[in-house]
Amino acid sequence: MSTQQATSNTTVAVFSTQELLKHWQGHRGLTRKMIEIFPEDKLFTYSIGGMRPFSDLVYEFLGMAVPGLQGIATGKWQKWAEADKVDTKAALLQLWDAATDEINAIWPTIPTHRFAEQDVAFGLWPGTCLSFLFYFIDNEIHHRGQAYVYLRSLGIEPPAFWDRP
């Protein structure tokens, strides 16, 4: 048996579900820092080149995080209530912190086997539950990059991208 054959027959866990949660929450912590330093008078209105304001991007993250995790945990995919939108930085940070607490509460209810199961997120995206989590994280990283551009264009030094709590 070749080394390649022996390796392909072995399952190796790259990281645990707790490490995945810590990784995601690290990114969420960095996004929270971005919300904190964003000027309130620009948070809901400022854009460049037709991109959405940072608050709209944050709503997108919120619309995936808790509803997506609930979908992964239960198989029931419900959209985030658009009515929950706010108009102050303090209120946006409260929404963010509440979502963080909900993520931490929902996470341990997810059976381990569920991460590998196929589903259709929000009735739109087929894939494994793990692929949905990676999408939630990647989407946040991608759009947080837009906020870095916004801050730099406003003359504000953003936090280092590797400085995740």
In a domain, 92, yes or no: yes
Question: Domain of 145: which CATH number?
Answer: 1.20.120.450
Q: Which domain holds residue 64?
A: 22-153
Strands 118-121, 125-128: pairing is antiparallel
Number of domains in the chain: 1
Q: Does 165 map to a domain? A: no
Q: How far apart are CA 88 and CA 85, in angstroms?
A: 10
For 27-76, the pLDDT digits (tens) are 999 999 999 999 999 999 999 999 999 999 999 999 999 999 999 999 99
This prediction's pTM: 0.88
Average pLDDT over residues 145-164: 91
Q: Is residue 12 part of a domain?
A: no
| Residue at 13 is within a domain | no
Phi, psi of 28 (to 5 degrees): -65, -35
> Is residue 118 domain-resident?
yes
